[in-house]
Amino acid sequence: MRSRLDEQLAQLNDSLIEMGMAAKKAISDATKALSDQDVDLAKSIMASDDKIDAMEKDIERLCLKLILQQQPVASDLRLVSAILKIITDLERIGDHASDISEFTVYLAGEQYIKNLEHIQQMADLTMMMVTESIEAFVGRDIELARKVIADDDEVDSLFLTVKRELIDLINANAHNGDQAIDLMMVTKYYERIGDHATNVAEWVEFALTGTYKDSQIM
């Protein structure tokens, strides 16, 4: 019955929002831990990654149950298919927050060789992208989804800025090399978070239009 399908879709919607907010919190906490060199907070983020993994599995089960029981078609099938893709990207975002936290623990006690201003800007932008990609899904807002996709260019630009800064620090003093490489990895994780948020937005566009990366699929 349609009412049962609507009920299950609403449950999926709520679960996806919860997972999205958990991923955003993981990024926020990981960034705070990095900035403050807060080892305890970093370790708590690493420990909590299993919760995001569990959310992914729960939502996946809900999607498969809905497909088997309700056999959705057209826009409903696109929506469920998009959710299955989105949760994979949200899980990877959680993984990258944990990865950043591992470097925070590793660098604990060291004075940073550079100001983290541009890394913080990347963090803020990627958190906004994750939030807006989920808002685009909830509000079925294709324009917001496309804004998130466009914002990824700014994340890439910031990544190149940090990369150049770190190369300059290595050229100035070879002893900066080890930490510069670690901070480059941290920066790369933020860049990947931006990519995953973009992926979420692209799947939102697919759910609404049947088009994925300019190709009509459904």
Q: What is the pLDDT along the chain (218 residues), one digit of tens a residue?
A: 568 888 888 999 999 999 999 999 999 999 999 999 999 999 999 999 999 999 999 999 999 999 998 888 888 899 999 999 999 999 999 999 999 999 999 999 899 999 999 999 999 999 999 999 999 999 999 999 999 999 999 999 999 999 999 999 999 999 999 999 999 999 999 999 999 999 999 999 999 999 888 766 65
Q: Which residues contact 92 (CB under 8 A, 6 or more apart)?
A: 192, 196
User: Residue 154 has what pLDDT?
Assistant: 98
CB 15 within 8 A of CB 59: yes
Bridge partners (DSSP) of residue 211 are 216
pLDDT in tens, 166-191: 999 999 999 999 999 999 999 999 99
Average pLDDT of the chain, as a whole number = 94
Domain ranges (residues) in the chain:
2-216
Query: For the domain 2-216, what is the CATH code?
Result: 1.20.58.220
What is the reported pLDDT for 94? 97
